[in-house]
Chain A
Amino acid sequence: MRDGQVVKGVRFRDHRVMGGIMELATRYVEEGADELVFYDITASPDGRSVDRRWINRVAEVLNIPFSVAGGIRSVADAEEVLNFGADKISINTPALAEPGLIDVLAKRFGSQCVVIGIDSHADAGTWRVYQNTGDPDKTSHSGRFTLDWVAEVQDRGAGEIVLNCMNQDGVREGYDLEQLRQVRARCQVPLIASGGAGTMQHFADVFRSAHVDGGLAATVFHSAAINIRELKIFLREQSVEVRL
Chain B
Amino acid sequence: MITVIDYGMANIGSVVNMLKRIGQESIVSVNPDEIARSEKLILPGVGAFDGAVNKLERLGLRDALNEAALNRRIPILGICLGMQLLLQGSEEGEKQGFGWISGWNRRFQFPECENPLKVPHMGWNKVRAVRPSPYFSADYGEQRFYFVHSYHAVCDSAEDVLAVADYGGEFAASIHRENIVGVQFHPEKSHRFGMKLLSAFAEL
Contact size class for A? 20 to 34
Query: Could you mark each residue 175-199 of chain B with 1 if its beta carbon is under 8 Å from any beta carbon of chain A, else 0?
Result: 0000000000010111110110000
Residue A244, interface by CB 8 Å: yes
Q: A83-B11, A188-B118 are in contact. Are A64 and B123 (CB under 8 A)?
A: no
Residue A243, interface by CB 8 Å: yes
Q: Which of B27-35, B66-74, B94-102, B140-148 faces chain A?
A: B140-148
Docked Cα-Cα span, A112 to B18, in Å, equals: 22
List the A residue with the shortest CB-CB distance to B18. A63
List the A residue with the shortest CB-CB distance to B124. A243
Residue A94, interface by CB 8 Å: no
**Total A-B residue pairs with C-beta atoms closer than 8 Å?**
58
Residue B14, interface by CB 8 Å: yes
Whole-angstrom distance between the Cβ of A210 and the nearest chain B Cβ? 15
The answer, among B13, B122, B191, for a CB contact under 8 Å with A59, is B13
A112 contacts B148, C-beta separation under 8 Å? yes
> A interface, by DSSP: helix, strand, loop or mixed?
loop
Query: Could you mark each residue 9-26 of chain B with 1 if its beta carbon is under 8 Å from any beta carbon of chain A, else 0?
Result: 001011001100100000
Number of interface residues of B (CB under 8 A): 25
Q: A63-B195, A159-B122, A190-B122 are in contact. Are A82 and B11 (CB under 8 A)?
A: yes
List the B residue with the shortest CB-CB distance to A34. B124
A85 contacts B14, C-beta separation under 8 Å? yes
Chain B residues closer than 8 Å to A80, beta-carbon distance: none
Docked Cα-Cα span, A61 to B46, in Å, equals: 21
> A residues 14-45 with Cβ under 8 Å of B?
29, 32, 34
> B interface, by DSSP: helix, strand, loop or mixed?
mixed
Residue A87, interface by CB 8 Å: yes
B122 contacts A112, C-beta separation under 8 Å? yes
Whole-angstrom distance between the Cβ of A209 and the nearest chain B Cβ? 17
Residue B120, interface by CB 8 Å: yes
Chain B residues closer than 8 Å to A65, beta-carbon distance: 146, 186, 189
A112 contacts B14, C-beta separation under 8 Å? no
B189 contacts A213, C-beta separation under 8 Å? no
B146 contacts A64, C-beta separation under 8 Å? yes
Docked Cα-Cα span, A244 to B144, in Å, equals: 8
> B residues 116-166 with Cβ under 8 Å of A?
118, 120, 122-124, 142, 144, 146, 148
Docked Cα-Cα span, A159 to B122, in Å, equals: 10
A60 contacts B17, C-beta separation under 8 Å? yes
Chain B residues closer than 8 Å to A188, beta-carbon distance: 118
Q: A85-B14, A188-B118, A190-B118 are in contact. Are A63 and B189 (CB under 8 A)?
A: yes
Docked Cα-Cα span, A244 to B43, in Å, equals: 29
Docked Cα-Cα span, A244 to B17, in Å, equals: 23
Chain A residues closer than 8 Å to B188, beta-carbon distance: 63
Docked Cα-Cα span, A83 to B14, in Å, equals: 11
Residue A90, interface by CB 8 Å: no
Q: A112-B148, A244-B142 are in contact. Are A189 and B13 (CB under 8 A)?
A: no
Chain A residues closer than 8 Å to B142, beta-carbon distance: 244
Among A60, A61, A82, A243, which residue has the most Cβ atoms of chain B within 10 A? A243
Residue A111, interface by CB 8 Å: yes
Docked Cα-Cα span, A85 to B46, in Å, equals: 13
B146 contacts A59, C-beta separation under 8 Å? no
B120 contacts A59, C-beta separation under 8 Å? no
9 CB-based A-B contacts, threshold 8 Å: A60-B13, A61-B21, A63-B190, A64-B146, A82-B11, A87-B148, A110-B46, A112-B122, A188-B118
A residues in contact (CB < 8 Å) with B: 29, 32, 34, 56, 59-65, 82-83, 85, 87, 110-112, 159-160, 188-190, 213, 243-244
With contacts A34-B124, A63-B194, A243-B124 known, what are 16 further pairs, Cβ within 8 A?
A29-B191, A32-B191, A34-B123, A60-B13, A61-B21, A62-B14, A63-B18, A63-B21, A63-B195, A64-B191, A65-B189, A85-B11, A85-B17, A112-B120, A160-B122, A189-B118
